[in-house]
Structure 1
Amino acid sequence: MLHSKTKWHSPAADSDTVRELARSLSISPLLSSLLVNRGMETPEAALLFMEGGAEEQHDPFLLQGMAEAVPRIRKALEEQEHILVYGDYDADGVSSTALMIHLLRHLGASFDIYIPHRSNEGYGLHNHALDWALQQGVSLIITVDTGISAYHQVAYANQLRMDVIVTDHHEPPELLPDAYALINPKLPGCPYPFKGLAGVGVAYKLAQALLGSDVPAEWSEIAAIGTVADLMPLLGENRDIVRSGLRSMRSSRFPGIRALLDVSGVALGTVSAVNIAFGMAPRINASGRLDHAGRAVALLTTESDDEAGILAGELDLLNKERQLVVERIVTEATAKLELQITETGVPDIIVLADYDWNVGVVGIVASKLLDRYYRPVVILDIHPETGMCKGSARSIPGLDIYEALHSCSDLMEHFGGHPAAAGMSLHKDKVDAFAAALNQYAAGVLTEDHLVPVSPADAEVLLSELSLTAAAELDRLAPFGMSNPQPRFIVRGVTVKETRTMGQESKHLKLVLQSGSSRIEAVAFGKGSLAGVLPAGTVVDVLAELSVNEWNGSRKPQLMLQDLAVTSMQLFDLRGATDAERQALKLKELLMPAGGSPSHAAAVFRDGRVAPQSELIGMSLWVYDKETGITPAGHPPSGLQLENEQVSLLCLMDVPETPEQLDALLRAFPSPDNIALLHTVRDSRERLQMPTREHFKALYQGLAQIAPAPVPEQEVLRRLSRQSSLSVRMLGMMLDVFEELEFIERNKGTVALRNQPAARSLTASRQYARLGQAAEMERYFLEGSLAELQDWLQNLRLGAS
């Protein structure tokens, strides 16, 4: 049994609505159900969602502050004022700044740009930057993707007689800056009907307000990059922006975009929102994380193919360096957290701080720890000289991290962000109080249900429904992203026909799945380690996305696995493994439920006469016992209640010596999820054999020669073993039969054949039956095929229960 890493949830769409929508639009029931589940229940709404239209676009002057901003910018153009575009260092900020550069170039303006350095300056408007702007002769500042919280900085700019137009999309604070104009769809009272614009989306609306219908179509490419990269909902107007941007990008005239797609390995003609999210955005962000975001701005605004190629290559190298830095910090942060968990358990909100944790990547580190522990995470980098911490937070759906930070705002110098992600700065001396305050807030918000990751699915389908035709239909729902994810499907009871790994170090998994006559390839990135627990013939449930694999002109459907589960007990054949303990730990890591629930145990069984070579961390150790069958080694496992315990994994390091030991094991653990056979394989001469009358006849004759009078039993066994093909162990158990039938007499370590014993049938001996059972058990464990052993154990388990 392989547990899924998340709970799968598939909503049931109203069947009448689905059927009517499918009929009205002549689409498949599958596509119709997806539309209905995403809120498009009428033909008009569904067509607008799939094809777009003027209804998705809104008048830019509906944005509060636009009516004041446009005349002020026109005045600056007429009077040749020097304008400063003040941006941010993430992909949205870079895109916003690049878009404003194109706009101001188009308008013939005199301008400069300023983007703060992430690690040296940090987020937001800074007074020293305003001093620099004054020296450059700036009289008008336009912020993009920043500024809504810059109350004091805007006041300072006003003192310097510089007007500030703030364009932003972050959550407005209670105290708003006294800017010449504030443009943010989230402002209280702003009548703009769509609140989900990215920072670049707001900048794009400013361009529309200034140029009307003359906005160049290719600018939507830059707006699309920032919208997707900043994880804005791909609904409403954002769909129009991204759809238009992708259409233009497929024949882009921007050298920088063409070069960026090239180093990302994306074909220009097939670029999608997913390519922006996982190819372009990380490379743009790498510039601001490890260097200065100005390099990415230069890439998006250059008119030179040569310069674009050089800059794109540099961003690609920075992204590779960023990946290495992230890997190091994740390792360090995980070690620090595991120590904390050992002492106090997993906190509701994880807060970790240390030196030399590059502030440019702490958000990525927070995301990776969230994926592993499914808790909100704050990662802070401590400045070695000032002691100031700058950090990023990532949260789960059950907790609004912006509100959590707001609850302890007095402990921070600055903070801002969204419900799912935020940034902050504070002194290291306040980190403990900060963590305590956040966890106090979380205690009143989070429930146990919030801490169980859920993977939403769109439908539960048959494998045969996931075809090329279905993939083409699903493309009508694109672009995919936040609030409009790639459709995911649950497929149950499919059989693994082939299993192999792919990529460097076999990191990725490839399966061939079959159900009836339908067969499809499935790929799971980062899950190569599961290959060993998914042999051919395994029946699995999968959560997957449908894609199309194109190779050498051939097109076929392919599943991209997001999660999978095996719902029946599995038996793993690792008999004779030289690294049995390492294999046991590996299986435990793979098979235990996500989070290592204490209600699921892993147990190891050994021969009590064999000392363990190392400690099997997190696994209870049991030994076979002649009296009780099995017994815990040392102290009993903490809190173990056998009748209630759900055992995820039983590891048999040694074969039970007797049927009673196996019976005791099966009674104690009647329904394990998985059993791993990790025992050594005895030499054939040392194994038990099914006892026959000929064996006992030969034994009786041997005893008549060797032990007519008392002889040390060990000497008798050695001599008899040399004379036959039977092991000392087998012969000893046969003597138990003779003793029970009163054919021999044992006394103080000696054995002697009784003189003229009464005739008795072997079948009257309990020890004879026990020897047969032991030989059968050993044959299955040492020689039986996996299928034979599984059937035999299943029958025994039914008997034991």
Structure 2
Amino acid sequence: MLHSKTRWHSPAADPDQVRDLARSLSISPLLSSLLVTRGFTAPDEALLFMDGGTDDSYDPFLLKGMAQAVPRIRKALEEEEHILVYGDYDADGVSSTSLMIYLLRHMGASFDIYIPHRSNEGYGLHNHALDWAVQQGVTLVITVDTGISAVHQIAYASQLGIDVIVTDHHEPPGLLPEAFALINPKQHDCSYPFKGLAGVGVAYKLAQALLDGRVPEEWSEIVAIGTIADLMPLLDENRSLVRKGLASMRNSPFPGVRALLEVSGVTMSTVGAVNIAFGVAPRINASGRLDHAGRAVALLTTTDSVEAGQLAGELDLLNKERQMVVERIVAEASDKLAGQIGDGQPPDIIVLANQGWNVGVVGIVASKLLERYYRPVIILDIHPETGMCKGSARSIPGLDIYEALTSCSSLMDHYGGHPAAAGMSLHRDNLDAFAAALNEYAAGVLTPEDLIPVTAADGETEVADLTLQAALELERLAPFGMSNPLPKFIVRGAAVKETRTMGQDGKHLKLVLQQGRHTIEAVAFGKGALAELLPGGTRVDVLAELSVNEWNGSRKPQLMLQDLAVPEAQLLDLRGSTDAVKRAVRLKELLQPYSGSTPFTVAAVFQNSRQSPLSELNGMSLWTYDEDGGITALPHGQAEHNGSVSLLCLLDMPETPEQLDALLAAFPQADNIALLHALRDGRDRLQVPTRDHFKILYKLLASIAASAVPEREVLLRLSRQSSLGVRMLGRMLDVFEELDFIERTGGMITFVSAPAAKSLSASHHFVRLGQTAEMEQYFMDGSAHELESWMQARRQGVS
């Protein structure tokens, strides 16, 4: 049994609405169901969402502040004022800055750009940057993707004689800066219909306003990068902008975009939102995280292909370095948290701070710890000299981290962000109070259900519905991203037809799943180790995305597994393992992440004669078979289990039916039973005894042991003269002794020449030999299904 890593939740679509929409638009029920569950029940709305419309852009002058900003910028152009574009260091800020460079170049402006250094300066508008701007002759600053919280800095700019136009999309604070113009669709009195624009989206609306709507089509590529990278909802106007950008990107005129796609391993002709999110965006972000974001801006705005290739290569190397830095900090942060909580549960909001944690990657670290513990996480770097802490937060759906930070704003020097992600700075003297205040706030907001990870699916379906045509149809819902995720489907009760691993060292898993006569391939990256837990015939539930696999000119549907479960208890057939102890430890490691919400418990059972390093079985409940037919728990290495365990490892098979019965009685419930015992050679195995076996043995004994002969010699001679092994022959001699056919004295055997007639069935040893041999045949030669059925019948007899 494997529990899914998260709870799967799928809405139930109204079957009448699904049927009606499918008929109206001539689409498959699968696509129709997706549209209905995503809120598109009317045919015209669904068609507009899939194919777009002629008027899918709003008037930029609906944005509050735009009417003031446009004439001020035109005045600056006419009077040849020097303009400063002030951006941010993340991918949205880089894209916004790059777009403004294209705009001001296009309009012939005199301008400079300024992006603060993430580690040395931190987020937002800074007074020292304004001082520098004055020295450069700047009289107008246009912020992009920043500025909405810069109350004091914009007041300082006014004292310097600089006008500031803010274009931003972050949550506005209670007190807004007195800028020349504030453009942010999230202002409470802004009438702009769509509030989900990225920073680059707001900059694009400014370009639309200044150019009377005649914005070069290729600029939408820059908008697409920033919008996808900043996890903005791919709905409404964003959907249109990203679609245009991706279409343009497939034949991009920008050397920088082409070079970025190449180093990211993305084929230009098929580039999609997922490629941008996982290939392009991390490399742009790496520039601001480990170096200076200006390098990424230079890449996106260069007209030189050679320079673009060089810059893209540099960003690719920075991204590799970033990955190594993240791995180190994740390990250190995990150790730090473990030291704080011991065996207890983590706090509702995890707050960790340390010196030497690169502030450029703490947001990624927070995301990874959130995935592991499913709690809001804040990771901060402490400056060794000033004691100032700069950090990033990532949150779960049940807690708005921006609101949580607002509740303790007095403890911070600065903060800002969204419900799901935020940044902040504070002094280390306030760290304890900060963590305490956040957790006090969380205690009043979070419920136990909020702390159980849930994965949203789009519905339950059958393998028969997951066709190539259905996979191709789903592309009409693209681009996929925030608020329009790649569709995920639940398939229940599919049988594993084939299991194999792929890639270097078998890192990835490939299954063939079957329902009825329909099959489909399923791939799970990084899950190759699960292959031994999913033999053919296993019934599984899967959560997966449907895609098209293209290979050698052929196309077929393929599932990309996101999660899986085996709902029934499993008998894992690993008989003949060369090292049963190591295999048990490995199984424990494999199964623990799939133990669900219940405590993960493991028991190992073995024969007293086993010479095993028990220390390797740390954390397991250890049991040995008794010679008198029971099983006994060892006093060390024990765990509470009340008869129910996640994994029961049989390092050795029971030698007698009584030992098996005791085992089944001690563990009436086990999610998984692993058979790890050795396989005996053929002649060393017991056979179900027959009368013919005993007739042959009787004749041989008459010729061998007419007078007293050492038992060892008898066994060896009998073994040479028959097809039976010494172990089987010894058990048969027990039967003969019980029936008084032989006499055993002092290790010697004497054949009784005229015994009283007795039936073999009257011998307890004969009956016991038959039962033991039957058990051994199942454990040695029976299929896993045969053994499981036999054990289940035996269990019912025991109970």
TM surpasses 0.5: yes
Secondary structure of 2:590's match? helix
Task: Tell me by how many angstroms 1:275 deviates.
Answer: 1.4
Task: Tell me by how many angstroms 1:534 deviates.
Answer: 2.2
Which of 791, 794, 797 lines up with 1:796 in the alignment?
794
Partners of 2:563 and 2:178 in 1: CA distance: 50
Query: 8 Å contact 1:6–1:594 — kept in the other structure?
Result: no
Task: Tell me by how many angstroms 1:481 deviates.
Answer: 0.6
Deviates more, 1:94-103 or 1:409-418: 409-418
1:186-231 Cα deviation digits (max 9, x unpaired)? 1222221111111111111111121122211211111111111111
Task: Tell me by how many angstroms 1:510 deviates.
Answer: 2.1
* Counterparts in 2 of 1:427 and 1:609: CA distance versus 1, 3 Å: farther
Partners of 2:618 and 2:166 in 1: CA distance: 56
Secondary structure of 1:634's match? coil
Partners of 1:266 and 1:92 in 2: CA distance: 20
Partner of 1:260: 260
Task: Tell me by how many angstroms 1:503 deviates.
Answer: 2.4
Partner of 2:718: 724
Query: 8 Å contact 1:707–1:716 — kept in the other structure?
Result: no
Which of 673, 676, 683 lines up with 1:675 in the alignment?
673
* Counterparts in 2 of 1:789 and 1:58: CA distance versus 1, 3 Å: same
Deviates more, 1:105-114 or 1:774-783: 774-783
1:299-698 → structure 2 map (5 Å cutoff): 299-592=299-592, 594=594, 597-613=597-613, 614-626=615-627, 629-634=630-635, 637-642=638-643, 645=644, 647-693=645-691, 698=697
Deviates more, 1:188-197 or 1:150-159: 150-159
Partners of 1:158 and 1:742 in 2: CA distance: 115
Partner of 2:68: 68
Task: Tell me by how many angstroms 1:600 deviates.
Answer: 4.3
Deviates more, 1:86-95 or 1:409-418: 409-418
* Counterparts in 2 of 1:783 and 1:595: CA distance versus 1, 3 Å: closer
Query: 8 Å contact 2:620–2:637 — kept in the other structure?
Result: no
1:498-528 Cα deviation digits (max 9, x unpaired)? 3222223322222233334433322211212
Partners of 1:139 and 1:28 in 2: CA distance: 59
Task: Tell me by how many angstroms 1:266 deviates.
Answer: 1.8
Deviates more, 1:737-746 or 1:219-228: 737-746
* Counterparts in 2 of 1:61 and 1:571: CA distance versus 1, 3 Å: same
Partner of 2:778: 780
1:142-181 → structure 2 map (5 Å cutoff): 142-181=142-181
Secondary structure of 1:724's match? helix
Partners of 2:334 and 2:557 in 1: CA distance: 38
Query: 8 Å contact 1:523–1:558 — kept in the other structure?
Result: yes
- Residue identity opposite 1:406 in structure 2: T
- Residue identity opposite 1:37 in structure 2: T
1:66-123 Cα deviation digits (max 9, x unpaired)? 2222222222222222111111111101001101111111121111111111122221
1:110-121 → structure 2 map (5 Å cutoff): 110-121=110-121
Query: 8 Å contact 1:706–1:716 — kept in the other structure?
Result: no
Task: Tell me by how many angstroms 1:31 deviates.
Answer: 1.5
Partners of 1:49 and 1:210 in 2: CA distance: 28
Partners of 1:387 and 1:504 in 2: CA distance: 45
Secondary structure of 2:185's match? coil
1:752-783 Cα deviation digits (max 9, x unpaired)? 99998765433234443222222222222233
Deviates more, 1:531-540 or 1:310-319: 531-540
Partners of 1:705 and 1:490 in 2: CA distance: 70
Query: 8 Å contact 1:629–1:665 — kept in the other structure?
Result: yes
Deviates more, 1:559-568 or 1:251-260: 559-568
Secondary structure of 2:616's match? coil
Partners of 2:756 and 2:546 in 1: CA distance: 77
Secondary structure of 2:617's match? coil
Partners of 1:595 and 1:759 in 2: CA distance: 59
Deviates more, 1:452-461 or 1:535-544: 535-544
Partner of 1:187: 187
Secondary structure of 1:212's match? coil
Partners of 1:638 and 1:153 in 2: CA distance: 61
Partners of 1:702 and 1:356 in 2: CA distance: 82
Query: 8 Å contact 1:717–1:732 — kept in the other structure?
Result: no
Query: 8 Å contact 1:691–1:771 — kept in the other structure?
Result: yes
Deviates more, 1:257-266 or 1:529-538: 529-538
1:731-742 → structure 2 map (5 Å cutoff): 737=735
Deviates more, 1:750-759 or 1:320-329: 750-759
Partners of 2:38 and 2:55 in 1: CA distance: 18
* Counterparts in 2 of 1:540 and 1:343: CA distance versus 1, 3 Å: closer
* Counterparts in 2 of 1:88 and 1:18: CA distance versus 1, 3 Å: same
Partners of 2:33 and 2:597 in 1: CA distance: 35
Deviates more, 1:144-153 or 1:717-726: 717-726
Partners of 1:7 and 1:376 in 2: CA distance: 18
Query: 8 Å contact 2:710–2:747 — kept in the other structure?
Result: no
- Residue identity opposite 2:391 in structure 1: G
Partner of 2:215: 215
* Counterparts in 2 of 1:701 and 1:231: CA distance versus 1, 3 Å: same
Secondary structure of 1:213's match? coil
* Counterparts in 2 of 1:147 and 1:748: CA distance versus 1, 3 Å: farther
- Residue identity opposite 2:760 in structure 1: L
Task: Tell me by how many angstroms 1:601 deviates.
Answer: 2.4
Partners of 2:401 and 2:735 in 1: CA distance: 73
1:229-275 Cα deviation digits (max 9, x unpaired)? 11101111111111111122222211111111122222222221111
Query: 8 Å contact 2:2–2:594 — kept in the other structure?
Result: no
Work out the number of aligned pairs and report it. 793
1:647-690 Cα deviation digits (max 9, x unpaired)? 33211111112211211222232342222111223454544343
Partner of 1:233: 233
- Residue identity opposite 1:199 in structure 2: G
Secondary structure of 1:344's match? coil
Partner of 1:712: none
* Counterparts in 2 of 1:181 and 1:652: CA distance versus 1, 3 Å: same
TM-score (norm 1): 0.92
Partner of 1:248: 248
Task: Tell me by how many angstroms 1:425 deviates.
Answer: 2.2
Partners of 1:637 and 1:438 in 2: CA distance: 39
Partners of 2:598 and 2:638 in 1: CA distance: 11
- Residue identity opposite 2:647 in structure 1: L
Partners of 1:788 and 1:675 in 2: CA distance: 14
Query: 8 Å contact 2:366–2:379 — kept in the other structure?
Result: yes
Secondary structure of 2:797's match? helix
* Counterparts in 2 of 1:651 and 1:638: CA distance versus 1, 3 Å: closer
* Counterparts in 2 of 1:635 and 1:222: CA distance versus 1, 3 Å: same
Query: 8 Å contact 1:373–1:595 — kept in the other structure?
Result: no
Query: 8 Å contact 1:510–1:523 — kept in the other structure?
Result: yes
Partners of 2:239 and 2:139 in 1: CA distance: 36
Query: 8 Å contact 2:629–2:656 — kept in the other structure?
Result: no
TM-score (norm 2): 0.92
Task: Tell me by how many angstroms 1:692 deviates.
Answer: 4.2
Partners of 2:251 and 2:67 in 1: CA distance: 35
Q: CA RMSD in A?
A: 2.9
Partner of 1:88: 88
Partners of 2:8 and 2:702 in 1: CA distance: 67
Percent identity between matched residues is 72
Pair 1:109 & 2:103 matched:
no
Query: 8 Å contact 1:707–1:751 — kept in the other structure?
Result: no
Query: 8 Å contact 2:99–2:203 — kept in the other structure?
Result: yes
Task: Tell me by how many angstroms 1:703 deviates.
Answer: 11
1:303-331 Cα deviation digits (max 9, x unpaired)? 11221111112112222222222223233
Partner of 1:24: 24
Partners of 1:749 and 1:161 in 2: CA distance: 113
